């Protein structure tokens, strides 16, 4: 057993998990506090990636482009919230699913109208294009290591904001009992808009970091959106901690499954059967995981406490 | 029970559907026969979904899986030489009903978004399974050599096939109507509104919901069998989650929990798609906001816009 | 008053008669089905633009007749493709159906079209069924049979004496076909065959596995956005210099703009390239760049050829569109100036053509482009023609 390979794959799983976490955090926050199922979250990820790529072409600086994308997507998110989503809070989840599905169609076409259907050119910034030696024998792409770092920092920041600041307190209170919070004089509408904006910014962060290694094209958010939903369902809706744990678990299971399932099956079933079963099973793995978790804990691993 | 105006509107709709083949033949536009037939097949799927989604409040995002199963139930036997329509369609109903039963047994333990996700997950699993089975065409799919054979009723004749689909749709609506107003339907609707209360009264809501789920799955299977006959082609992409989304859109657009609404929704969505996509490549930029507007401002969907009040 | 009324009525009758007379020479109607929306829309755009250029070059007339092209968007779905085909056949009453990117859509559409007695000219998808057992008198393709391209790459790598090749493709029918086609000619050692999830975005795990196995070369099939992602990640993992990458349908003019320098040094096998030296191709590429501002791809070249093929058929029967047999006979001769140079059909209406080794290099303008390095196959036939019962 090549242990170095296993460690490297664990790093890969962690990095993928962190990427999922950035998306999941925003989504679970919005769902937990505003009780809003937002399918268009993947579209905000896409918008973040597009704006970052465009800004990079204008300014040539990855950092500037990143800041711009975050700020701009924050604004876009708040606009969407004010224009389209306000009336949906009282509606049931179905209406929200349909309306946000309509938003997905709109955003996909909108970026196609502005930037065309062809994938945009993106590349990792030169400073991060190299490798770092994590352990003797494991050279890991620097850019991906930065993603892990950024993700963990964001997780820490979110923890601090939610549990140590007034805003965080309002968020937690609003998740528990929004009527009471409104009755106490807090501007709930403003709170919601701000929270949604931050959720959008988190999605944009995921998008702008994913841009250089994935493909920037219309509809890029859909594939990852399903995986993000799996994460928040496993982790527990409304819980940031659940999002982090769920994301890392999903990231690890998916990555390790893709890497090691076929070789493992091969020793049991024989190589040609493993050739067929391996990939099929690997792609189903996170769904099987989710079904298993829901069977034993239908509320997810860390359900947010509701009043 | 139902106002006269509404009754007349529905009958008017039925009349239109009955006359479409006649008009199409006279105007020498056989394409419309195929178009309307395809829409009615999706209407059947949508009505099935409405049973659990509209009436039961169970948001199943994996409904397309049952269409796929029904499709396979027709195409695989045909591949091995079994053309008998009765055998194929019975297999479609039974197989999809049973698989729905199995999936429902696991999924109904959850609710809300978890339920949505788990039904989606199962559909995805079936889809990935379908695209990796090489013997049955994988994602290339397979041609259907001949439509299901029913002896004297020849489905190869476009007109005959059209009326068969129409008859099935009407029969389904009739059965659905009876079901929804019978004790079974009342329990399901009451469970959607307040499950705890139903359980307190002594109903085993889980069993009722599971039964409804299985029925909806079987109806989806029938739709799948019809779809394969319509396109004369089998592809696992029938099971893709975006297809589930489209059927859901038809139900919600048409009016959830109205039984007839989904039929309207299927017509509106598919006709709009056909017209818009001929008009512009960027048709989704129109469809998207349109959906949002319907959700925001037409609460009972298109059905709510029909004249008359319902009981 | 009465005189006025009579004048108007006579005028209307005259007008109608004139209009009817003017329509006596019916235009040629071509239905072109491709994917115009969604992520694959870029390919559809290449094809549509090429069809338009072909029509320009023909003076907006096909076989001397006015032409009407009806475009359809199949959304990558076989049942939508079939519905479009039905609409084109029954509502628009087209004389030809052409286009189609995806094999599964083609397998649903082609039998529908040929079953209605209409000629189908496929301009991309090349499922082996249609070149083999399901070959049909009315079905022609101006592209290739799917397996031909990986066969060419397999032969090249075999001739190079390469061993320890790591093969990767997405886990679907085309992916498996590509690797099978590759192995038909490559007889060396294949370290591993890895099938990844269709649409997968992150290949880091697979790349780590690959590195662990230490192959001498990597052969992949990753069309569209999967290719862009895989290539970027492969290069970011530092493998470009260490392990040479050979691919099919992965790096081409639809994906080069998004990949940029990450593509440098990549090998591909193809029957055509924008730098192919023949008159028709040079004219096509030059005029295309001038009209649309980007470099055309093989998807476009095939579609361009498809229109020219249809034109040659209509011209041969002197505009008599009801003479299907005559048009089929003319198409078999393939008497038109194809972008690939010499164009010959095999019995199964699939081209017998050359295949070249291409490499992504930095062109004279500083842009990354594909250039032909050498010829791998001359007059290569597909592997399924013997299953086709047609003889002519």
Rounded Cα distance, A240 and C223, in Å: 37
Rounded Cα distance, A173 and A298, in Å: 24
Three-class DSSP category at A132: strand
Q: Which of residues 197-216 of A touch C (CB under 8 A)?
A: 210, 212-216
- Cβ atoms B108, B211 nearer than 8 A: no
Quick check: C29 pLDDT over 90? yes
Do A109 and B111 count as a contact with CB atoms less than 8 A apart?
no
Q: Return the CA Rg of chain A.
A: 20
Q: At what angle do helices A3-34 and C204-213 cross, to 10 degrees?
A: 180
Quick check: C24 pLDDT over 50? no
Q: Which chains, if any, share at least 3 CB pairs under 8 A with chain B?
A: A, C
Rounded Cα distance, B116 and B102, in Å: 16
Rounded Cα distance, B287 and A105, in Å: 7
- Cβ atoms C86, B34 nearer than 8 A: yes
Structure tokens at C176: 């498996």
Rounded Cα distance, B218 and C35, in Å: 33
Structure tokens at A235: 């982790």
Closest-CA distance, C128 to chain B, in angstroms, reads 11
Q: Where are the domains of chain C?
A: 28-144+276-345, 148-270+357-380
Q: Dmax of chain A from CA atoms?
A: 67
> Cα angle at B216 between B215 and B220, to 5 degrees?
115
Q: Cα-flanking dihedrals φ and ψ of residue C277, to 5°?
A: -90, 85
Q: How confident is the model at residue B308 (pLDDT cuts 50, 70, 90)?
A: low
Question: What does the pLDDT average to over C228-239?
Answer: 90
Structure tokens at A202: 């988190």
Q: Cα-flanking dihedrals φ and ψ of residue A77, to 5°?
A: -60, -45
User: Is B5 among the domain residues?
Assistant: no
Mutate to test the interface with A, among B288, B298, B299 (most CBs of A within 10 A): B288
- Whether chain A has a CB inside 8 Å of the CB on C73: the answer is no
Percent of chain C with pLDDT over 70: 94
In Å, what is the CA distance from C173 to each residue of B5, C67, C147, C170, C366? 53, 36, 12, 9, 37
Structure tokens at C256: 């080069």
- Whether chain A has a CB inside 8 Å of the CB on C302: the answer is no
CB proximity list for B67: less than 8 A, separation 6 or greater: B45, B220, B221, B223, B224, B227, B238, B239, B243
Facing residue for C78 by CB, picked from B32, B35, B141 = B141
Positions in chain A short of pLDDT 50: 307
Do C258 and A121 count as a contact with CB atoms less than 8 A apart?
yes
Quick check: C81 pLDDT over 60? yes
Percent of chain C with pLDDT over 90: 70
The whole-number pLDDT of residue B224 equals 95
Q: Which of residues 218-247 of B touch A (CB under 8 A)?
A: 241, 245
The pLDDT tens digits of the residues spanning C314-333 come to 999 998 999 999 999 999 99
Range scoring the smallest mean pLDDT among B139-143, B216-220, C159-163, C191-195:
B139-143
User: Is B238 among the domain residues?
Assistant: yes
The whole-number pLDDT of residue C165 equals 95
Architecture of domain C148-270+357-380: 3-Layer(aba) Sandwich (3.40)
The whole-number pLDDT of residue C56 equals 95
> Cα angle at A145 between A142 and A146, to 5 degrees?
90
The whole-number pLDDT of residue C19 equals 39
Do A118 and C204 count as a contact with CB atoms less than 8 A apart?
no
Structure tokens at A163: 């549990």
Rounded Cα distance, C368 and C253, in Å: 10
The CATH number linked to B81 is 1.10.3470
Percent of chain B with pLDDT over 70: 96
Do A98 and B59 count as a contact with CB atoms less than 8 A apart?
no
The whole-number pLDDT of residue C25 equals 63
Do C36 and B281 count as a contact with CB atoms less than 8 A apart?
yes
Cα B51–chain centre separation? 10
Range scoring the smallest mean pLDDT among A172-186, C156-170, C177-191:
A172-186
Out of A160-164, B183-187, C120-124, give the one with best mean pLDDT. C120-124
- What residue numbers bound the domain in which B281 lies? 35-305
Bridge partners, residue B84, by sequence: B149
Mutate to test the interface with C, among B41, B233, B239, B285 (most CBs of C within 10 A): B233
Structure tokens at C26: 């019916």
Do A97 and B289 count as a contact with CB atoms less than 8 A apart?
no
Which residue in C has a C-alpha nearest to residue A8's C-alpha?
C208
Closest-CA distance, C175 to chain A, in angstroms, reads 12
Q: Which residues of A touch C204 (CB under 8 A)?
A: 12, 15-16, 141, 144, 255
The whole-number pLDDT of residue B1 equals 47
Q: Where are the domains of chain A?
A: 10-218
Quick check: C145 pLDDT over 80? yes
Cα C253–chain centre separation? 13
Facing residue for B59 by CB, picked from A94, A232, A287 = A94
The pLDDT tens digits of the residues spanning B61-79 come to 889 999 999 999 999 898 8
Q: Which residues of C touch A210 (CB under 8 A)?
A: 201
b/e map A61-87, b = 16+ CB within 10 Å: ebeebbebbbebbbebbbebbeebbee
E strand map for C280-347: 344-345
Q: What is the DSSP string of C233-270?
A: HHHHTT-TTTS-EEEESSSSTTTHHHHGGGGTT-EEEE
User: Is B25 among the domain residues?
Assistant: no
Quick check: C1 pLDDT over 70? no
Rounded Cα distance, C41 and C47, in Å: 10
Facing residue for A5 by CB, picked from C195, C212, C255 = C212
Q: How confident is the model at residue B26 (pLDDT cuts 50, 70, 90)?
A: confident
The whole-number pLDDT of residue C4 equals 52
Closest-CA distance, C365 to chain A, in angstroms, reads 18
Q: How confident is the model at residue B192 (pLDDT cuts 50, 70, 90)?
A: confident
The whole-number pLDDT of residue C17 equals 38
Q: What's the structural domain count of chain B?
A: 1
Do B282 and A280 count as a contact with CB atoms less than 8 A apart?
no
Q: How far apart are the first and last CA of chain A?
A: 50
Three-class DSSP category at C163: coil
Q: How confident is the model at residue B301 (pLDDT cuts 50, 70, 90)?
A: confident
The whole-number pLDDT of residue A28 equals 87
Structure tokens at B213: 């789920």
- Residue pairs spanning A and B at CB distance below 8 A: 117
Quick check: C9 pLDDT over 80? no
Cα C62–chain centre separation? 20
Q: Residue B141, by phi and psi: left (phi above 0), alpha (psi -120 to 50) or beta?
A: left
Q: Which residues of A touch C228 (CB under 8 A)?
A: 119, 215
Range scoring the smallest mean pLDDT among A43-47, B256-260, C291-295:
B256-260
User: Is B261 among the domain residues?
Assistant: yes
The whole-number pLDDT of residue B309 equals 57
Question: What does the pLDDT average to over C275-288?
Answer: 95
Average pLDDT, chain B: 85
Do C260 and A218 count as a contact with CB atoms less than 8 A apart?
no
Mutate to test the interface with C, among B127, B229, B231, B270 (most CBs of C within 10 A): B231
- Cβ atoms B232, B137 nearer than 8 A: no
Kindly indicate whether the domain formed by C28-144+276-345 is annotated with CATH number 3.40.50.2300.
yes
Cα A75–chain centre separation? 19
Q: How confident is the model at residue B220 (pLDDT cuts 50, 70, 90)?
A: very high
Rounded Cα distance, C212 and C219, in Å: 16
Structure tokens at C122: 């496929």
């Amino acid at each position: 057993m090549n242990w170095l390979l296993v460690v490297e794959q664990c790093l890969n799983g962690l990095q993928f998990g962190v990427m999922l976490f950035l998306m999941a955090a925003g989504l679970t926050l919005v769902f937990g506090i505003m009780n809003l199922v937002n399918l268009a979250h993947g579209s905000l990820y896409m918008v973040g990636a597009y704006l970052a790529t465009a800004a990079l072409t204008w300014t040539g600086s990855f950092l500037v482009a990143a800041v711009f994308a975050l700020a701009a997507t924050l604004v876009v998110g708040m606009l969407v919230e004010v224009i389209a989503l306000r009336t949906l809070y009282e509606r049931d989840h179905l209406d929200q699913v349909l309306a946000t599905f309509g938003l997905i169609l709109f955003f996909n076409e909108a970026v196609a109208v502005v930037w065309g259907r062809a994938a945009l050119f993106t590349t990792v910034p030169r400073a991060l294009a190299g490798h770092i030696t994590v352990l003797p024998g494991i050279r890991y792409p620097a850019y991906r290591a930065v993603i892990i770092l950024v993700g963990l920092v964001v997780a820490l920041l979110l923890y601090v904001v939610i549990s140590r600041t007034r805003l965080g307190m309002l968020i937690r209170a609003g998740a528990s009992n929004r009527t009471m919070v409104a009755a106490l004089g807090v501007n709930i509408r403003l709170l919601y808009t701000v929270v949604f904006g931050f959720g959008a910014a988190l999605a944009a962060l995921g998008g702008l970091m994913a841009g250089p290694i994935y493909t920037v094209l219309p509809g890029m958010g859909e594939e990852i959106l399903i995986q993000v939903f799996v994460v928040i369902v496993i982790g527990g809706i409304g819980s940031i901690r659940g999002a982090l744990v769920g994301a890392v678990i999903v990231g690890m299971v998916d990555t390790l499954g893709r890497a090691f399932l076929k070789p493992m099956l091969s020793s049991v079933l024989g190589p040609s059967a493993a050739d067929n079963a391996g990939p099929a099973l690997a792609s189903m793995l996170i769904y099987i995981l989710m079904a298993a978790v829901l069977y034993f804990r239908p509320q997810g691993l860390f359900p947010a406490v509701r009043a | 029970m139902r106002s006269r105006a509404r009754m007349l509107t529905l009958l008017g709709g039925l009349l239109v559907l009955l006359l479409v083949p006649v008009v199409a033949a006279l105007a020498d536009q056989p394409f419309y026969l195929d178009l309307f037939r395809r829409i009615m097949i999706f209407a059947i799927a949508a009505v099935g979904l409405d049973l659990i989604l509209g009436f039961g409040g169970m948001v199943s995002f994996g409904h397309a899986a049952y269409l796929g199963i029904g499709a396979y139930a027709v195409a695989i036997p045909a591949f091995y030489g079994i053309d008998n329509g009765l055998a194929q369609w019975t297999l479609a109903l039974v197989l999809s009903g049973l698989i729905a039963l199995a999936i429902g047994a696991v999924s109904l333990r959850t609710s809300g978004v978890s339920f949505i996700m788990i039904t989606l997950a199962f559909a995805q699993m079936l889809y990935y399974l379908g695209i990796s089975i090489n013997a049955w065409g994988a994602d290339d799919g397979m041609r259907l050599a001949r439509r299901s054979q029913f002896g004297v009723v020849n489905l190869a004749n476009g007109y005959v096939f059209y009326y068969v689909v129409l008859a099935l749709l009407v029969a389904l609506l009739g059965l659905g109507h009876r079901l929804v107003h019978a004790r079974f339907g009342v329990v399901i609707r009451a469970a959607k509104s307040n499950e705890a209360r139903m359980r307190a009264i002594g109903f085993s809501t889980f069993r009722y919901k599971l039964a409804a789920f299985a029925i909806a799955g079987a109806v989806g299977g029938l739709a799948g069998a019809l779809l394969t006959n319509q396109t004369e082609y089998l592809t696992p992409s029938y099971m893709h989650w975006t297809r589930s989304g489209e059927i859901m859109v038809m139900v919600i657009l048409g009016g959830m929990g109205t039984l007839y609404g989904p039929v309207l929704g299927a017509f509106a969505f598919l006709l709009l798609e056909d017209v818009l996509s001929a008009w512009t490549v960027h048709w989704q930029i129109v469809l998207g906001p349109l959906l949002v507007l319907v959700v925001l401002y037409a609460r009972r969907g298109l059905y709510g816009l029909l004249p008359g009040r319902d009981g | 008053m009465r005189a006025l009324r009579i004048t108007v009525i006579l005028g209307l009758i005259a007008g109608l008669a004139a209009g009817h007379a003017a329509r006596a020479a019916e235009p040629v109607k071509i239905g072109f089905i491709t994917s115009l929306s969604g992520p694959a829309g870029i390919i559809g755009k290449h094809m549509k633009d090429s069809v338009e250029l072909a029509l320009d070059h023909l003076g907006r007339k096909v076989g001397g007749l006015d032409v009407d092209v009806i475009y359809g968007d199949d959304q990558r779905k076989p049942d939508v493709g079939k519905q479009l085909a039905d609409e084109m056949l029954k509502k628009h009453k087209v004389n030809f159906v052409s286009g189609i990117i995806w094999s599964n859509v083609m397998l649903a559409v082609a039998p529908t079209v040929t079953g209605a007695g209409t000629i189908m000219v496929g301009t991309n998808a090349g499922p082996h069924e249609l070149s083999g057992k399901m070959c049909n008198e009315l079905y022609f393709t101006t592209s290739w049979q799917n397996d031909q391209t990986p066969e060419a790459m397999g032969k090249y790598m075999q001739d190079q004496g390469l061993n320890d090749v790591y093969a990767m493709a997405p886990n679907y029918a085309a992916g498996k076909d590509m690797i099978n086609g590759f192995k038909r000619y490559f007889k060396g050692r294949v370290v591993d065959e890895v099938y990844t999830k269709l649409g997968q975005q992150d290949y880091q795990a697979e790349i780590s596995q690959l590195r662990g196995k230490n192959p001498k070369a990597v052969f992949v099939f990753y069309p569209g956005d999967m290719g862009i992602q895989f290539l970027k990640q492969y290069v970011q993992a530092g493998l470009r210099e260490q392990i040479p990458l050979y691919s099919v349908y992965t790096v081409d003019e639809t994906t080069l703009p998004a990949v940029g320098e990450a593509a440098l040094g990549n090998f591909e096998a193809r029957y055509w390239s924008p730098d192919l030296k023949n008159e028709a191709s040079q004219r096509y590429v030059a005029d295309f760049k001038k009209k649309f501002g980007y470099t055309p791809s093989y998807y476009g070249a095939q579609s361009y050829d498809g229109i020219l093929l249809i034109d040659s058929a209509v011209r041969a029967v002197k505009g008599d569109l009801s003479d299907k047999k005559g048009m089929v006979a003319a198409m078999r001769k393939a008497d038109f100036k194809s972008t690939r140079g010499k164009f010959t059909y095999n019995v199964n209406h699939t081209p017998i053509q050359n295949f070249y080794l291409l490499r992504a290099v930095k062109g004279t303008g500083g842009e990354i482009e594909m250039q032909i390095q050498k010829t791998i196959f001359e007059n290569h036939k597909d592997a399924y023609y013997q299953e086709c019962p047609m003889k002519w």
